[in-house]
Structures are given as structure tokens and as C-alpha cells.
């Protein structure tokens, strides 16, 4: 193969047009039990824990909410959201155990109940736990609950349209994260034309794992501002820097020397250069001018790590997105090398493999070349998650009081 013909695999993520839900009413199904149903309905405040908190946070005033009693299998409603989704343990009828809340009112009529609800959702291909209903889905479920439509006569041609499909990304429970789009929701997250733009669902997942609304998140290399847009929508404060700011809400600073006080940050997200494979700008202090084959690249990024460590509060989390390089017939395990440097300062928490989609090399010609010439295209990036140790290193981590340490077969 012609040596010149192998460009460095850049992994530029591009979104297809997917933001297709501008401000239409959405529908949410929240769960309750026989024990909690009365209290939730009487208080007019529905609440949930971390697993579904992100769904509640997406609720807008005027959206429709249904309660599913999982003991009786009845769908109860419709209720109208009179507030946005929020994080408020004080207002929650179940306190800090279920701190994500939405205040609701009934639509003025008596509350209706529809039995066999799970079966209905199955029939409609709706995952009631995770899906958010589209306007069409809301109208249909409302008509069924209000008995204006009979389940027996249902003819749904395109079940997909009942769900607001790309309104919010999923929260991942495994170490393999895969989502087809760079952005989601009503508004863009970052600029998908920016070279090396970060897939927004990664930041979204980090926020729901390691912060609560009101926390302060830092991105020292913000690029086109994906972290800002995700944080704002999820009600986190955000501080954003870049060596060359691309918009007014990004401040100019070198990530090795941040104008921030010590121990002031609740979470850091950083998608650094992976070497000199992408030309972000011509600023002389852009670390993306140093090749990943050069040890100086890691030395400079280690300065960024130390600076993040300084500004983070003890016990808080940092997520570092990084990809390996295969260029000019040479493999560089950039991810391992970054992990090594990070864990000089931080405690390891986990490593996520993020599937790369829509990158420049994802074309038939590059797939053929990879096999023909026996090399691999980059299929994933690492999200390395680390934690700044607690101040008192003797403080033992709280034991989780759980009885499911082993996977049952």
C-alpha cells in the first residue's frame, strides 16, 4: 500500500440530523407500588431515584405523566406536570431515597385506571421504564386510559412514532457505551462540525453518575462547548475553558494553569487531544500539536491532570475521554499511557469503552484497506473514570449493604 495513503484515523464524530422534537408535549410513565400510590397522588409530587432520575429531569411544565402501579398493573392518570423535573429531596414524599421529583395535577376529572398496562406497553413496543412518549404516544395512551379508544381495536402502523426516540440518551449500566448520535434532544449539544466534537451522551452519563443538579462541572478543553450545553440542560453549573475559545461562554485559559481556586469543582470532564491527529487551531500552546509518539505529549497532559486534581474537591470524579492511535504503520496505546499518568494522582474507578460511530474512516474503502493490509480501524475510545481521594485516606469506603455480590445463573 502507498504509505502516503494512510491518514491518521481522526475519529471525527458527526451527527446525522436527529434533533426532531422541538417543544412538543411529551409523556412520562413513572412507577409506584400499592404502598406508595396513595401518598404520591395525595401529595401531588411524583418522585424517583437515580436509575430514572434523568427521565424525570427531562419533564417540562405541561407534559403528561402517568403512574404505573406495578403491583396492580394499573396505569393511572393522566396527570399534568405543573413544574419542570427537579432534584429536591426536601419536596419529595420519600426524601433523599427518591430525590428526583415532578409536581403534578390531575386534569380536573376523576383519576382513571387502565388495567393490564404492562401488556399494553408490550403490544405497543414501548419500554415504559426508559422510553419517553412522543406527542402521538401521549395522545394514544391518554385516549386508552380515558376509555375513548378500545385496546381491542388498536391498529398502530408505525410503533416507533409513539416514542420520542432521541429525546434523551439512555443511562448505561455496563462498561460498553454505544449511542448512534453525537447529539440528542431539542437543541444541539456542541457543534457537530467541530473537529473531534465529543458525543454528548458521554457527558450526560457522567453527570447522572457523579453529580447532582446544582453541582459545578469543569471542562478545561471545551472545544465547541458540548459540556456546557449538556450541563445547562441538566441544571449543573459549568466552567469552561479552551486555549482558543469558540464561543463567548468559553473562557481563554491553558488547561495547565487554570484561573480557579483549589478544591472548588465537583466533577471534571475532559476530551483532550489524542496526539497531533486533528488540527484544532494554530495556538502555540495547543497540546494537540505534539504527536502521541512523543513522550512530551504525556508530560504536558500530566500537567493538565495535576491542575484538575488541584481544583477538584476531594472525593469527586473526573472522566477523561481518549483514543488510541494507529498511524503510519505504528500503533500507540494512548489510552493505557493516559491511564498510567492519571492513576499517579487519582484512584481508578472504571474504564468505559465508547463505541466510535460515524467517523471519517467508516467507509467501505477503509474497511477493505484495514483487512487487506492487516491493520485495525479504531472501533472505540476509552472513557477513563478516576476519583480524587478523600482527604482522610483512612476513611473507609462505605460498604454497600447489598446481597447480590454474585451473578445468579
Ligand X SMILES: C[S@@+](CC[C@H](N)C(=O)[O-])C[C@H]1O[C@@H](n2cnc3c(N)ncnc32)[C@H](O)[C@@H]1O
Residues that bind ligand X (CB under 6 A): 190, 194, 196-198, 220-224, 226, 241-244, 254-256, 271-273, 280-281, 285-288
Beta carbons within 8 Å of 368's beta carbon, 6+ residues apart: none
d(CA 303, CA 319): 16
Q: Which is nearer to ligand X, 154 or 244 (CB)?
A: 244
Q: Which is nearer to ligand X, 128 or 297 (CB)?
A: 297
Q: Least distance (Å) from ligand X to the CB of residue 201? A: 12
Residue carrying the nine cell digits 512530551: 296
| 218 touches 268 (CB < 8 A) | yes
Q: Least distance (Å) from ligand X to the CB of residue 15? A: 11
Q: Least distance (Å) from ligand X to the CB of residue 359? A: 13
Q: Least distance (Å) from ligand X to the CB of residue 275? A: 11
d(CA 185, CA 23): 10
Q: Which is nearer to ligand X, 36 or 325 (CB)?
A: 325
d(CA 232, CA 242): 18
Q: What is the DSSP track for 256-313?
A: TB-S--TT-EEEEEEE---SSSS-----TT-GGGS-TTSHHHHHHHHHHHHHHHHHEE
Q: Which is nearer to ligand X, 280 or 309 (CB)?
A: 280
Asked if omega into 353 is within 30° of 0 (cis), the reply is no
Residue carrying the nine cell digits 402521538: 136
Q: Least distance (Å) from ligand X to the CB of residue 305? A: 13
Q: Which is nearer to ligand X, 69 or 272 (CB)?
A: 272
Q: Least distance (Å) from ligand X to the CB of residue 334? A: 13
Q: Which is nearer to ligand X, 99 or 275 (CB)?
A: 275
CA angle, residues 317, 47, 151, in degrees to nearest 5:
120
Q: Which is nearer to ligand X, 194 or 204 (CB)?
A: 194
Q: In the numeric block, which cell numbers belong to residue 236?
A: 449543573
Residue carrying the nine cell digits 494512548: 334
DSSP class of residue 84 equals -
Q: Least distance (Å) from ligand X to the CB of residue 27? A: 31
Amino acid at each position: 500500500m502507498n504509505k502516503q495513503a494512510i491518514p491518521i484515523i481522526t475519529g471525527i464524530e458527526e451527527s446525522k440530523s436527529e434533533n426532531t422534537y422541538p417543544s412538543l408535549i411529551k409523556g412520562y410513565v413513572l412507577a409506584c407500588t400499592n404502598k406508595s400510590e396513595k401518598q404520591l397522588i395525595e401529595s401531588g409530587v411524583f418522585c424517583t431515584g437515580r436509575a430514572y432520575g434523568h427521565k424525570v429531569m427531562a419533564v417540562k411544565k405541561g407534559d403528561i405523566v402517568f403512574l404505573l402501579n406495578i403491583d396492580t398493573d394499573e396505569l393511572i392518570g393522566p396527570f399534568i406536570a405543573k413544574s419542570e423535573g427537579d432534584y429536591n429531596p426536601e419536596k419529595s414524599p420519600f426524601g433523599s431515597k427518591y430525590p428526583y421529583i415532578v409536581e403534578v395535577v390531575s386534569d380536573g376529572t376523576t383519576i382513571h385506571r387502565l388495567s393490564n398496562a404492562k401488556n399494553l406497553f408490550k403490544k405497543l413496543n414501548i419500554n415504559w421504564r426508559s422510553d419517553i412518549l412522543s406527542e402521538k404516544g401521549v395522545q394514544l395512551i391518554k385516549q386508552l386510559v380515558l376509555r375513548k379508544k378500545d385496546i381491542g381495536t388498536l391498529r398502530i402502523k408505525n410503533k416507533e412514532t409513539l416514542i420520542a426516540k432521541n429525546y434523551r440518551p439512555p443511562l448505561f449500566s455496563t462498561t460498553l457505551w454505544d449511542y448512534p448520535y453525537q447529539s440528542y434532544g431539542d437543541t444541539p449539544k456542541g457543534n457537530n462540525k467541530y473537529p473531534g466534537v465529543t458525543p454528548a451522551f458521554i457527558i450526560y452519563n457522567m453527570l447522572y453518575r457523579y453529580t447532582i443538579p446544582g453541582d459545578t462541572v469543569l471542562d478545561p478543553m471545551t472545544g465547541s462547548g458540548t459540556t456546557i450545553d449538556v450541563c445547562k440542560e441538566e441544571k449543573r453549573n459549568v466552567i469552561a475553558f479552551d486555549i482558543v475559545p469558540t464561543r463567548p461562554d468559553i473562557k481563554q485559559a491553558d488547561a495547565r494553569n487554570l484561573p480557579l481556586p483549589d478544591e472548588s469543582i465537583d466533577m471534571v470532564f475532559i476530551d483532550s487531544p489524542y496526539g497531533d491527529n486533528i488540527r484544532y487551531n494554530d495556538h502555540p500552546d495547543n497540546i494537540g500539536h505534539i504527536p502521541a509518539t512523543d513522550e512530551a505529549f504525556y508530560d504536558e497532559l500530566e500537567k493538565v491532570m495535576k491542575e484538575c486534581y488541584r481544583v477538584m474537591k476531594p472525593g469527586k470524579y473526573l472522566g477523561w475521554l481518549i483514543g488510541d492511535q494507529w498511524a503510519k504503520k505504528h500503533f500507540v496505546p494512548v489510552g493505557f499511557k493516559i491511564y498510567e499518568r492519571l492513576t499517579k494522582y487519582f484512584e481508578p474507578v472504571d474504564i468505559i469503552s465508547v463505541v466510535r460511530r460515524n467517523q471519517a474512516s467508516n467507509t467501505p474503502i477503509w474497511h477493505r484497506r484495514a483487512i487487506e493490509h492487516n491493520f485495525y480501524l479504531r472501533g472505540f475510545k476509552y472513557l477513563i473514570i478516576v476519583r480524587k481521594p478523600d482527604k482522610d485516606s483512612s476513611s473507609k469506603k462505605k460498604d454497600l449493604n447489598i446481597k447480590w455480590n454474585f451473578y445468579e445463573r
